Each structure stands twice: as structure tokens, then as C-alpha cells.
Amino acid sequence: MIYRPVRERDPETIMRLAAESVAATGYDEVSFTSLNSGDYSNLPYLLRLFNRKFKDKNISFSLPSLRVSSVTEDVIREIKVVKKSGFTIAPEAATSRLRLVINKDFGQEDFERTLYSIFKGGWLNLKMYFLTGLPTETDEDIEAIPGMAAEAMKIARKHTGRSVNISVAISPFVPKAHTPFQWCGQIPMDEINRKNSYLKRALSRKGLKYKGHDEKMALLEAVIARGDESVSSLIEGACNGGARLDAWTEVFDFNNWVNAAEKTGLDLNALAEKSIKPGQPTPWSIIDTQIKDDYLNKEYEKALSSEKTQDCKLTCHACGVKCKSGQYLSDVKPAELSDRTADSFKARYNPVKVRVVFSKTGNMKYLSHLELLTTILKSLRRAQVPLVYSKGFNPSPNVALSPALGVGVSGEREFFDMEVTPPFNLNRFRDIIAQNMTLPIVDMFFIPLNTQSLCKFITAYRYEIKNIGYSTEDIQSRINTEENRWILPILVRFDIIDGSLEVLLKDTEKAMVKLSACVKALTGKELEDVDVSRKAMYGWQNDWVEPTQQVQG
């Protein structure tokens, strides 16, 4: 309501923003988000335009959960062009009566058509999103949720001949200010728990996955959404008590809010459940959104009587904003476009492989292996390297790193291989990648496409453990103890140079090098307590040789 009138960006403007964002960040996915992305007038045109420009670069788009009525054959076709992951639809309520209450009705035929399109498109993972605790809700409405999800499974079997993975996400309804339900209180916590417990049992019996939203978090959402000025003291108290990043479930601690409520004398449940008689002033009445309370009250009454209100893009309902219906919509464009992709490069050659040598030092040593890969891939996309991608539903760049480096351990000569589409000017791209990468490039060169992978070739590692304060005799003495003799098969050699320990370790058929255990055996210290750097890596070809000297055997 408060975002009225409906305003739409022109598809060409969206494309420009998307292109600029991809070039600046190196991300491989663009999210088209809004309050209801499925209602965007030019959605099929935009998606096709996006795929025409970006599909050959394997950059995909994502949409938030779509209402059942928003899912069309055109949308389905474009979503799976680059990457096909799970699909999310939002029925929100499982009975037609309750859907009319929230003005989001669709019929059984619409539901079956949508599911048919999804399963026909090849999806085998579906997420359905429902709300509980909606105004006028009854137990019959709750009991219909497992039935609707089971019907989706039945339709899936009918059209695919197999079962699919269906998960059902349940969130408690949170009444919000400046909406027709602003006068309604949230249902009590014990009711939320009762309904969630029932749904969890009923869905699991039908072979469906249940995913619930934390009811305590929903309680706080209602308190903050409809609270008055006293809630500011609650928020400050919770913050002072340690509440940080509470939208992240792994750090959310409800006790911080309970303690703050006790200190401020507020009753969280009473605040969330409080109902207000329509016409009475609310804490947010001082805010003018241009939407009149009389209009909201009228819509509330229509909701209680299950009377549908038509889309205001088509018919004005005199809400108070004083716009013209459809005034700020983008001009409708045709869904069909020519398949000719003017600015995409069609590969006419076999791919080639490039090996890159880089260093991972300073603060970058604290990146995990996965974070390192993500950083490298974003850098390569920013540099517009013509990467070759794998096949399948979720294509990924053919980029492979050398064996993982532990978090906190520096690497002076690390490697990654990448397959690229020729022509590929090595000198030009070396400079471009260096400009776009936060990791210093040491070297870059071509290798045969069938060169053995880094992880298979590399079996030995040279480390420097700095300033340990031990002599050669001290290290030898530690190795000779019964406790540490296990390291002998993987220890090639060691030297003390200027007070630092340099050690060459190798993988064997029976044991792989585990750096933390080796550091403990050699120095008696934990890995995080010493300064370690990986100086080089080797593979065996009549001698220990670096990947820069690797010969095709």
C-alpha cells in the first residue's frame, strides 16, 4: 500500500543497470526483485532480452517467489535458459475463501496449469510458501495446506512419472501498519506453535518437507511493525544487551529481547496481539502515506466478507494517492524477440587451457578455499574472460584451483587452471585480470587441454614456519619421539634457515599431508599460533617439479 502508485522501470533501463552491475561486480546472477515481480508488465520481454544478452556468458537471473497466477509458459521457458535450480511459488493460503480475504485468489485450474508448466519445464524441486494466522483463518484453512501440497505431488507424478522434492515454507502472518489489516493483532504464540506442530506432522506423513519461520522472530516483527514510541526503548535495550544482526537465525537470541522487555516494562505478547478498533487513532496515524484510513477500512471490510478488489493498475479505487490507473507503467513490449544475439560471441574453436600463478598473502590468507574460488571467478568475470562452462542444469566455469590452503596460511605460488574460448591474447588478458583481481598475478601461460589436473599432479608441498626458535637438533629430537614418528613417511626433508623451519612434505598412498598435525609434531605449537607460508608445490616427474614445469606424460 505505502509504495503506491505502481511504478515500473523501462526494460532497457533495467538492462543497462544489470549490465553495469555485472561488469562492476563479476557476479553471475542478477535478481529481479520487487514487491511482486510477477506483476511487472514487461516480464517475458525483459527475461528474453536478458537471456539474449547474457546467456552465452552464463549469467543467469533469479526471481523471488511468484504468485501462482504469475507463472506462465514464457516465464518458465526463460528461467531455465542458463541455470535451473529450485522453483518457488506462493499460494499463501490453501483455500479459495482465505485467498479472497487476502485478495490473492486463483482457481484449481490455474494451480494445475502452473504446476504442469513447472514440471513440464523439467523442475524436480518445488517450494511452496504459505502464511498462517491470517485474519478469519480457521483450522479448515490450516488443514488444507498439506492437502494442497499433496495435490502438487500428485500432479507432479502425473506429468513427470516420478516423485519430486516439494518443501512447504510456513511463516506466521505479521500485521503491518498502513494496510487493511493494520487493526488486527497477531495470533497468540501458543496458537502459532499449535498450527506449526500440526503442519510439521501432517506434511511429513505425506512425504513433504516442512520449513518453518522462527515464531519468536515473527513475534518481534509484529511488535516492531505495530509498536509505538515505547518500542524504541525496547530496541535500544536489546542492542545494549547484545542483540546484533538478529535477522541471521544463527546469531538470533530471543533472551536479549526478553531481558530488554523486562527492564522497560513492556509485554511483548500483548503488543503483538493487540487489536485496534477501526477508526481509532494508531501510533502511525501521524505518518501521511496518502492512503486514506477510510479506504483501508473499506478494504478491511471487503476482506472480511471475502470480496475481491480488482488490480488498481486497471481500475482506480480512490485510495487517496490521486494517480491515474497505469500512469507509471512501462510501455508493453512483445514477449517474442529475434533469437539472433548480436553482442554474444559464438565459439567456433575448441577451448584452450590457461594456467595462472598467483600469491595469496596479507589479509587474503584468511579467505577459505571456497571464498578464494568465488573471488577468482568474480575477478575473471569483471575482466570479461571468455570462460568455458560445464554442461547441465547448473553450468559452472571450468576453473580448478590447486590443493586447498588452510585459512590463515599464506601462499606465495598458488595456481588455478581455466578453460577459455580462443582467440585468447595472453598478454592482454594477463594485464586485464591483474587489474581486476585482488590477488597478485605472478605468471600466466598456456598448457595442453589434456594436462593432468593440479590436484592430481601436486603431491608435495614446501612450507616455511617462521621464527620458531628451534635448532636442527631440536626438530630431529621431536621427530624421533614415539609420538611423532608417524610424520616420517610424509617428511621429505627439513632445514633451519635464519631461525625459520623450511619443510618439504609429501602425500603418500596411506596418508595425506595435514598441515596442522605436521606443525604440531614438528614444533609442538598449534597452526593458528605460528606464521606459516606455503612457498611452493610439486609433482613427481623423475624429480619434484613445479606445475610450471609439468610435462604431459
Same domain assignment for residues 402 and 468 = no
| CATH number where 202 lies | 3.30.750.200
**Rounded CA separation 487/507 (Å):** 11
**Rounded CA separation 464/486 (Å):** 20
Question: Alpha-carbon torsion 518, 520, 523, 526, what sign?
Answer: positive
Same domain assignment for residues 181 and 225 = yes
How is 323-343 classified by DSSP, letter by letter?
Answer: PPTTTBPPPP--S---S--TT
Residue 393 is part of which domain span? 352-452
| CATH number where 484 lies | 3.30.70
| The pLDDT value given to residue 338 | 55
Same domain assignment for residues 407 and 288 = no
Contact in structure between 203 and 149 (CB atoms under 8 Å): yes
Same domain assignment for residues 138 and 261 = yes
Same domain assignment for residues 356 and 237 = no
Same domain assignment for residues 103 and 139 = yes
| CATH number where 430 lies | 3.30.70.580
| The pLDDT value given to residue 335 | 63
Beta pairing, strands 87-92 & 544-545: unpaired
Same domain assignment for residues 359 and 420 = yes
Residues in CB range of 305: below 8 A, 6 or more apart = none
Contact in structure between 78 and 47 (CB atoms under 8 Å): yes
Same domain assignment for residues 478 and 400 = no
Same domain assignment for residues 170 and 281 = yes
Q: Of 271, 304, 337, which one is at a domain's C-terminal end? A: 304
Same domain assignment for residues 366 and 224 = no
Same domain assignment for residues 397 and 479 = no
Say how many domains are in the chain.
Answer: 3
Same domain assignment for residues 139 and 175 = yes
Verdict on whether the full-model pTM lies above 0.95? no
- Three-state DSSP string of 342-353: CCCCCCCCCCEE
**Rounded CA separation 529/526 (Å):** 5
Half-sphere exposure of 298 (CA within 13 A, CB side): 10
Grid coordinates of 298: 473499506
pLDDT (tens, 9 = 90+) of the chain, 553 residues, equals: 888 898 999 999 999 999 999 999 999 999 999 888 888 999 999 999 999 999 989 999 999 889 898 898 889 999 989 887 779 999 999 999 999 999 988 888 999 999 999 998 888 899 999 999 999 999 999 999 999 999 999 999 888 888 789 999 999 999 999 999 999 999 999 999 999 999 999 999 999 999 999 999 999 999 999 999 999 999 999 999 999 999 898 999 999 999 999 999 999 999 999 999 988 889 999 999 999 999 999 999 999 999 999 988 888 999 999 888 888 888 888 766 655 443 444 445 799 999 999 999 999 999 999 999 999 999 999 999 999 999 877 889 999 999 999 999 999 999 999 999 999 999 999 999 999 999 999 999 999 999 999 999 999 999 999 998 899 999 999 999 999 999 999 999 999 999 999 999 999 998 899 999 999 999 999 999 999 999 999 999 999 999 999 986 5
| The pLDDT value given to residue 35 | 84
Contact in structure between 295 and 318 (CB atoms under 8 Å): yes
| The pLDDT value given to residue 553 | 52
